[in-house]
Amino acid sequence: MQLHLDTAELDLIADVLLQSEAQVSSPQASEASPNGQKAPDSGIYEELLDNVLARNMEFDSDELEQLADILARQKRAVYDAMVHASDGSAKAQLQHKLQKLERVLEKIDEVCAML
């Protein structure tokens, strides 16, 4: 089954992959994450990003799971930032991003369940 995403959803995924790749490439990335999870290496971000930018949504099951994990980590980070935001405008922007992330994750989870 092929994943169908609109342009805004693809842009969101591309932004998340770019941010995540930058974080993995940073010097602080070598430190252990607080929850003990190991983030994928930067190569997977590049591969997924290349597919997203090419609008090629034919991911295999491993790629879909990795993409779902990356987006789930971003969702948790956005939620944490939203909880700690003091500015109402920033909170509203984070809430909107959180809703978009949830929508994309639902689509990816549906495709994963059908594989």
Digit-coded pLDDT (tens) for 26-50: 766 555 455 555 556 778 899 999 9
What is the share, in percent, of the chain residues with pLDDT greater than 70? Answer: 86
Query: Where do runs of H (alpha helix) occur along 1-115?
Result: 7-25, 42-53, 61-84, 88-114
In this prediction, residue 81 carries a pLDDT of 94
Lowest-confidence segment of 5-19, 38-52, 66-80 by average pLDDT: 38-52
In this prediction, residue 24 carries a pLDDT of 80
89-115 pLDDT per residue, tens:
999 999 999 999 999 999 999 998 888
Of all helices (H) and strands (E), which one includes residue 58? Answer: none
Query: How many CA atoms, within 13 angstroms, populate the side-chain half-sphere of residue 79?
Result: 9
Tell me the average pLDDT across 15-21.
Answer: 92
